[in-house]
Structure 1
Amino acid sequence: MRAARMINLIYLPLTIGLFLLAQQLYKKFPTPLLNPVLVSLTALVLLLLFAQIDYSHYNQYASVLTFLLKPAVVALGVPLYQQLHSIKKELPQILSLVFVSVVIAVVSTTALALLVGASAQIAASLSPKSVTTPIAVLIADQIGGQPSIAAIAVMVTGLVGSVVGVPWLRAMRVHHPKAQGIAMGTACHALGTARIVEEGAQQGAYSAFALVLSAILSSLLCPILVPLVSAWLA
């Protein structure tokens, strides 16, 4: 019994330790494929599978990290505040860009899911994939989706974006810091913002602002667009 309790207490420091090791690996070999979040998550999943540890049991003792996501997202407001004067001047343009991006993201995701044979519920669950997890879960629940599926979709979107987002922007010759920030914040939420802030404070500020706008607009547009697309493709 005592040994079991000791093992339970290892989950949290183990998770943090894996991430710190992944960070060191990324610093030594800075390639997108060695993204610290991706590497630590993969290692943790393999470890849980190998040790036959149920995720719900693991999460019971490591859920404090999930709670810390909220203040971590709030911390992104620091670079945003530093660029606030510049953002105010360009607010109409930024709002227009994010609005169009959200419409395209929601419509294309919903339509593609339905076209490949997914149910309306699955399509609704995937539609808020580019929004940070707490909001995406609420949106999915509101429009008849599955919050758990929405959470997974958000995680996958963020991971993929944080790994390939910056190389893709460079390949597409998108070099302007503001454009890079808006693209990453709108497309891949907090994980994308955490990645693009490594490129510079300006990218991080615009990404954080785009993340917030994307969340607000998605919560307003998903209940309108998802039923329209579902009815159109029904």
Structure 2
Amino acid sequence: MNWVYLPLTIGIYWLALQLHRRIKTPLLNPVLVTLAALVALLLLADIQYAAYDQYSHILTDLLQPAVVALGVPLYLQIHTIKRDLPKILAAVLIAVIVAVGSTTAIALALGASADIAASLAPKSVTTPIAVLISEQIAAHPSITAIAVIITGLVGSVVGIPWMQALNIHHPKAQGIAMGAACHALGTARIVELGEEQGAYSALSLVFSAVFSAMLCPLLVPQIVSLMN
């Protein structure tokens, strides 16, 4: 029966997508609903994740070309992006400093150990790079991976309503914010609003990963040292 895991996952996502189309609410984000349903199913049926992943890993493998596909809207907006590049770099740099600094400081202030705080620091970066950063700063890659997933899911659900509540309607600003704050899942969500948002979000995602890889090893130890 192991062969059923792949079509089951696709079926659950399709049902979640139909539900989201009928009931327009961020709380019914298809990815979030699918993840919750699969976790519940695996727990109730006592199915090991390794067994599930063995027959459904093709979906994870498809994430790589999916991320590459984000380059299409980027290419379509290349002339505008070239003109705005200095502003984009400055905005993403500030976003990374704030994200890494505030996450580490808040975690320590709430009583987390230094290694846990360091594990949470790269939460706004796409998973493969976040895990590498975590290893570089002697943190826990597994905790980092969980933090990244939660950040992406929460961002994809509340990001757009939150920006609308703050009266942020400019496509470029929306794209940069989602890419820097909630990586690929945020980019996949914001691209639904338009190609311009998707292009700026994809670029922001890339720059966020680069800046985080450079700054985390510098900022996290300094913050830990100051607060301990």
TM category, shorter = over 0.9
Q: 2:89 aligns with which of 87, 91, 95?
A: 95
CA deviations on 1:28-52 (whole Å, 9 max, x unpaired) are 1121011000011111111111111
Q: How many Å separate the matches in 2 of 1:180 and 1:159?
A: 17
Instruction: Report the CA distance between 1:182 and its aligned residue.
Output: 0.4
Partner of 1:176: 170
Q: 1:120 aligns with which of 111, 114, 130?
A: 114
Instruction: Report the CA distance between 1:56 and its aligned residue.
Output: 2.0
Q: How many Å separate the matches in 1 of 2:218 and 2:65?
A: 30
DSSP 3-state at the match of 2:168:
coil
Instruction: Report the CA distance between 1:67 and its aligned residue.
Output: 1.7
Partner of 1:3: none
1:1-234 maps to which residues of 2 (within 5 A)?
7-234=1-228
* TM-score (normalised: structure 2): 0.98
Q: How many Å separate the matches in 1 of 2:114 and 2:70?
A: 34
DSSP 3-state at the match of 1:175:
coil
Q: How many Å separate the matches in 1 of 2:118 and 2:62?
A: 27
Q: How many Å separate the matches in 1 of 2:190 and 2:14?
A: 19
Give ranges in structure 1 of 5+ residues lacking alignment: 1-6
Alignment root-mean-square deviation, CA: 0.8
Instruction: Report the CA distance between 1:184 and its aligned residue.
Output: 0.3
Residue type of the partner of 1:205? A
Percent identity over the alignment is 66
Moved over 6 A (4+): none
Q: How many Å separate the matches in 1 of 2:14 and 2:211?
A: 35
CA deviations on 1:179-211 (whole Å, 9 max, x unpaired) are 000000000000000000111110010000000
* TM-score (normalised: structure 1): 0.96
Partner of 1:4: none
Count of aligned pairs: 228
Instruction: Report the CA distance between 1:20 and its aligned residue.
Output: 1.2
Instruction: Report the CA distance between 1:57 and its aligned residue.
Output: 1.9
Residue type of the partner of 2:125? V
Q: How many Å separate the matches in 1 of 2:182 and 2:91?
A: 15
Q: How many Å separate the matches in 1 of 2:106 and 2:65?
A: 34
Give ranges in structure 2 of 5+ residues lacking alignment: none
